Structure 1
Amino acid sequence: MNNVPCKFIVTIRPKEGWQVYSSAQDADGRCICTVVAPEQNLCSRDAKTRQLRQLLEKIQNMSQSIEVLNLRTQRDFQYVMKMESQMKGLRSKFRQIESNRRTVDELKGKMNELQPLIPVLEQYKTDATLISQFKEEIRNLSLVLTAIQEEIGAYDYEELQQRVLGLEGRLRNCMNKLTCGKLMKITGPITVKTSGTRFGAWMTDPQASPKNNKVWYMDSYTNNKIVREYKSVSDFVSGVESRTYNLPFHWAGTNHMVYNGSLYYNKYQSNIIVRYSFESGRVMTQRALESAGFHNVYPYTWGGFSDIDLMADELGLWAIYATNQNAGNIVISQLDPQTIQVLNSWNTEYSKRNAGESFMICGTLYITNSHLTGAKVYYSYSTKTSTYEYMDIPIHNQYFHMSMLDYNARDRALYGWNNGHQVLFNVTLFHIIQTDDES
């Protein structure tokens, strides 16, 4: 571990306005980082390089202003030329004043025409003064830039560039380690759309490529087999469907998951999990989740056949349910996405019927204490350490009834169905990472 502080702050203002990275080093030399969103940025240059960049930007802006003023002066010059020719015409008119009364009237008309040119002349003088001031300031700035360049001294441009690239590389390495963390805060929601019944699910595929932003929409918690697909969130908002799928079996609940191109859902009136491929349009696998309660035996607090909750995070695909063997308390099982076989299971001591909703982040299950107003994340269970913790993280239940809440690892956001409103929540994660940079 080096003794060089790794403290840096990078602020990002993206489309939704929620993505911020920050990092600092604790007393033991560990890099402690907080992340709100997935986008990454490069570190700032050192103070001198930043000052150079700011001055160069200022010169560029001033050069643009000079160009604008120059165009204005060219335009005004055309007016002046026009006025000069008219003035010459006036001289000959004056010579005829004594002999021709009509000429006097014509002269008055010409004078009225020339009246608007007076402000033009004044503006021309002002622009010429401003141009002189700009040129003087640019000369001064050039002197400042030269002084800074001399002060940098031994560092030529190539060496400075290599230093900056090295710092950026170290920052990227640190950010790449910020894939997982502990939930610290939930903000929002952002209301994406209002549609459907009080209960339903909407989602994107966390395993999809960045260019694939398809949205899937499943209204109601029972008596439905129709999945609606949209090419993007904007199409979803405007209601432009790209395709619909008629599933072979009705679903139960609202806790479905799209993962790596397949839909995973609980088959109605059973503890069977179905894997349906959108590409082939058929069921690839279906398997019973052994001992799992179903059909409102162990639902969430709102009911709705929500006994089995399928979800995904950075570590894979999961099923959350309850069994008689675990006294109705929540069981966490990690699933093989291809075969739906249980890879590992953890028994918690939290009653499934007392849970409002739940979601997985980085192998930790977070449970809310209610689906109604005043809900908060109350309990968490880490599959890494097989330990639990009581928490107090509020979640704003804006529309008073939450029937679906799932984490998307690609977006690092919570998707929710809130009383007929499709909403997004932002999450803040806390990270402790050990740096391995010894330089």
Structure 2
Amino acid sequence: MMLLLLISIKLLLLLCIQRPSTSVRLKEGWQVYSSAQDADGRCICTVVAPEQNLCSRDAKSKQLRTLQEKIQNMSQSIEVLNLRTQRDFQYVMKMESQIKGLRSKLRQVETNWRTLPTKNFQELKGKMADLQPLVPVLNQYKADAGLISQFKEEVRNLSLVLTGIQEEIGAFDYEELQHRVTNLETRLRNCMNKLTCGKLMKISGPSTVKTSGTRFGAWMTDPQVSTASSKVWYMDSYTNNKIVREYKSMSDFIAGVESRTYNLPFHWAGTNHVVYNGSLYYNKYQSNIIVRYSFESGRVVTQRALEFAGFHNVYPYTWGGFSDIDLMADELGLWVVYATNQNAGNIVISQLDPETLQVLNSWNTEYSKRNAGESFMICGTLYITNSHLTGAKVYYSYSTKTSSYEYTDIPIHNQYFHMSMLDYNARERALYGWNNGHQVLFNVTLFHVIKTDDDS
């Protein structure tokens, strides 16, 4: 059974709002695993939870406070899911009504089919056939909406129990209570973890994090590390530079407090670099060589030529800047986007082995690299903008899963008129941009296809 949900996946950074210097102060041993915003970019909630085995049988009052805090955070998270589900439920009910109406109309037409032209009859019958499979999907959606309500009720009941026993420690089996809370927390995490991949529907923002550097550059975080790490890397300019600046946190980045600098052995070309699992991947200047540089060892661990790839402004994006080879990462791994003579200058997508940089698989598109403003990967689909200037929009997408493309029309607000870097971060589900010397962030809205446990 397939469950279709339209969920707004909001920016997961601790910035969370228009004031980028704001951050959440966490207790030692606690971690953020989800956050949400409303349509205006204001924080609704940040869900936090202590690490496993934080509680012990000592100091039961402290244990209960810990459980209460967990319940409160889960309750906030469930409330957000519930609000979104109720909003989308109205859309689902409308679709269901349309399906029923179409079915009734079709029955009437079948009774008086002689009065209807054959072409119109076949078109109506085709629409009905297309909509018919949605009926069980809608039924499953309503069932899952009920499941969220059940989660909400269970949290409320547990909260009442905790409040009732706070003054009478020992009146309730603490181990059983902790088991119930842990079980509910696990179920909630599993539910939220299903919201991993989806189709891009909307780009909102941007939020300006900082204004610094030249007109062109790149900045990024590592999508593979835990949420406990929030290091930021900064690479100014598109050429004639080898210095990578590291910041321990987003707040340090905003304040300009560097923690370390790295002097790369080779200059980079373009602004299309990516940090992935502790390594920097970039295009070596005046070559089609991809370099993997380890931050931990401070040296190049792998470099490999990308066969047939154009370089040094042979097939750049529309703004130029030696942006021929674009490295990126998403939920499915490490990718590189480029163009070749063999594909008539059109974009080629290749998935790379992060360790060896070997090409695992490639897809040839029919979109000219020189006509693309920027591009980024989400869940194995490449999204391409039609310009780097004002009025840009995501115009084309190519799915590596189905080896097919489609034309889209998703506006992206180019606030500072010249986009020289746009890259997706799967951990934070946000787009990082370098917009004419401004470091900006965009929220994304994804349309999710979620499989239930009964799916084969």
What range describes the TM-score normalised by the shorter chain of this pair? 0.5 to 0.7
Aligned residue number for residue 203 of structure 1: 220
Given that residues 10 and 43 in structure 1 are in contact (C-alpha distance below 8 angstroms), is that contact kept between their aligned partners in structure 2? no
Q: 1:239 pairs with 230, 242, 256, which one?
A: 256
Residues 245-294 of structure 1 show CA distances to partners (whole Å, capped at 9, x for unaligned) of 11111000000011111110000000000011111111101100000000
The answer as to 2:357 corresponding to 1:340 is yes
The answer as to 2:348 corresponding to 1:331 is yes
Aligned residue number for residue 277 of structure 1: 294
The answer as to 2:136 corresponding to 1:28 is yes
Given that residues 45 and 164 in structure 1 are in contact (C-alpha distance below 8 angstroms), is that contact kept between their aligned partners in structure 2? no
Query: Are the structure 2 counterparts of residues 409 and 32 from structure 1 closer, same or farther at C-alpha, using a change threshold of 3 Å?
Result: farther
Structure 1 residue 159: Cα displacement: 11
Distance in structure 2 (CA, Å) of the matches to 1:7 and 1:162: 32
Aligned residue number for residue 214 of structure 1: 231
Aligned residue number for residue 46 of structure 2: none
Distance in structure 2 (CA, Å) of the matches to 1:171 and 1:216: 33
Q: CA RMSD in A?
A: 3.7
Distance in structure 1 (CA, Å) of the matches to 2:416 and 2:272: 19
Given that residues 6 and 446 in structure 2 are in contact (C-alpha distance below 8 angstroms), is that contact kept between their aligned partners in structure 1? no
* Counterpart amino acid of residue 252 in structure 1: A
Structure 1 residue 219: Cα displacement: 0.3
**Matched-pair identity in %:** 79
Aligned residue number for residue 314 of structure 1: 331
Q: 1:351 pairs with 368, 372, 376, which one?
A: 368
Distance in structure 2 (CA, Å) of the matches to 1:161 and 1:179: 28
Structure 1 residue 210: Cα displacement: 1.4
Structure 1 residue 209: Cα displacement: 1.8
Q: TM-score, normalised by structure 2?
A: 0.65
Structure 1 residue 9: Cα displacement: 11
Structure 1 residue 51: Cα displacement: 11
Aligned residue number for residue 377 of structure 1: 394
Of the two, which has the highest radius of gyration? 1
Structure 1 residue 174: Cα displacement: 2.8
Structure 1: give runs of 5+ residues left out of the alignment: 34-39, 61-157
Distance in structure 2 (CA, Å) of the matches to 1:12 and 1:43: 24
Distance in structure 2 (CA, Å) of the matches to 1:264 and 1:10: 27
Given that residues 32 and 432 in structure 1 are in contact (C-alpha distance below 8 angstroms), is that contact kept between their aligned partners in structure 2? no
Structure 1 residue 176: Cα displacement: 1.8
Given that residues 222 and 268 in structure 1 are in contact (C-alpha distance below 8 angstroms), is that contact kept between their aligned partners in structure 2? yes
Aligned residue number for residue 380 of structure 2: 363
Given that residues 221 and 251 in structure 1 are in contact (C-alpha distance below 8 angstroms), is that contact kept between their aligned partners in structure 2? yes
Distance in structure 1 (CA, Å) of the matches to 2:366 and 2:251: 42
Residues 164-190 of structure 1 show CA distances to partners (whole Å, capped at 9, x for unaligned) of 987765544332221110001111101
Distance in structure 2 (CA, Å) of the matches to 1:188 and 1:259: 25
Aligned residue number for residue 16 of structure 1: 16
Query: Are the structure 2 counterparts of residues 11 and 356 from structure 1 closer, same or farther at C-alpha, using a change threshold of 3 Å?
Result: closer
Distance in structure 2 (CA, Å) of the matches to 1:47 and 1:300: 51
Q: TM-score, normalised by structure 1?
A: 0.68
Query: Are the structure 2 counterparts of residues 258 and 167 from structure 1 closer, same or farther at C-alpha, using a change threshold of 3 Å?
Result: closer
Query: Are the structure 2 counterparts of residues 289 and 237 from structure 1 closer, same or farther at C-alpha, using a change threshold of 3 Å?
Result: same
Q: 2:199 pairs with 182, 189, 199, which one?
A: 182
Structure 2: give runs of 5+ residues left out of the alignment: 18-35, 38-79, 93-133, 143-147, 167-174
* Counterpart amino acid of residue 178 in structure 1: L
Distance in structure 1 (CA, Å) of the matches to 2:195 and 2:452: 12
Structure 1 residue 16: Cα displacement: 1.1
Given that residues 329 and 350 in structure 1 are in contact (C-alpha distance below 8 angstroms), is that contact kept between their aligned partners in structure 2? yes
Distance in structure 1 (CA, Å) of the matches to 2:6 and 2:249: 38
Structure 1 residue 372: Cα displacement: 0.4
Q: 1:263 pairs with 263, 280, 283, which one?
A: 280
Number of corresponding residues: 330
Q: 2:152 pairs with 38, 44, 52, which one?
A: 44
Distance in structure 1 (CA, Å) of the matches to 2:354 and 2:8: 38
Query: Are the structure 2 counterparts of residues 221 and 165 from structure 1 closer, same or farther at C-alpha, using a change threshold of 3 Å?
Result: closer
State the secondary structure of the residue aligned to 1:45. Answer: helix
* Counterpart amino acid of residue 16 in structure 2: E
The answer as to 2:302 corresponding to 1:194 is no
Query: Are the structure 2 counterparts of residues 352 and 50 from structure 1 closer, same or farther at C-alpha, using a change threshold of 3 Å?
Result: same
State the secondary structure of the residue aligned to 1:184. Answer: strand
